[in-house]
Amino acid sequence: MIPRFGERPQPGLRYRHRPGVYAVLVRDNRILLTHQAFPIPEFQLPGGGVESGESLVAALHREVFEETGWRIGNLRGLGRFRRFCDLPEHDMLAEKMCHIWIARPILRLAPPPEQGHTACWFRPAEALELIADPGARHWLGRYLRG
């Protein structure tokens, strides 16, 4: 069974399926998070939605680069979870199926190209405390506990 985190779906509302991809990025015993300035300022695992026709892995590489400026490698699946949320930037309610990977940041090519994102390195315990999304926090915690 795939765990659900966050708000429960509201009866009578229509949620569209939206796959998402996220990465726990580890290098030199640090975790790379992205700080999203809007719509709500928060720290997140780098990642986001999968576009139509895009593979999960291709979406992960694209999203991590857009939000951090880093290229990644050594991908390994960690887990997945569901969450129900409002995506105002897409004008939709979504049932997100979030796929989580462990990856290694290989090369920083540029500052994050996506407006409003800042790449930030943290010690593992700090990263775990800062992540806003409970599902992402769960999977980071499982990774850190080994």
Percent of the chain with pLDDT strictly greater than 90: 90
Banded model confidence at residue 96, pLDDT cuts 50, 70, 90: very high
In angstroms, rounded to a whole number, what is the distance separating the alpha carbons of residues 31 and 126?
9
Q: So what CATH class is 16-145?
A: alpha beta
Please compute the mean of the pLDDT values over residues 4-25 and round it to a whole number.
95
pLDDT the model gives residue 39: 82
pLDDT at 76: 98
| Higher-pLDDT residue of 87, 105 | 105
* 126-137: pLDDT as tens digits: 999 999 999 999
Averaged pLDDT, 90-100: 94
String of b and e for 29-53 (b: at least 16 CB within 10 Å)?
Answer: ebbbbbbbeeeeeebbbbbbbbeee
pLDDT at 63: 98
What's the predicted TM-score (pTM) here?
0.93
Max CA-CA distance within the chain? Answer: 48
Segment 28-56, tens digit of pLDDT: 999 999 999 988 899 999 999 999 999 99
| Structure confidence by residue, pLDDT tens digits, 105-129 | 999 999 999 999 999 999 999 999 9
**Do the bridges between strand 92-108 and strand 16-27 make them parallel or antiparallel, or are there none, so unpaired?**
parallel
pLDDT at 81 over 90: yes
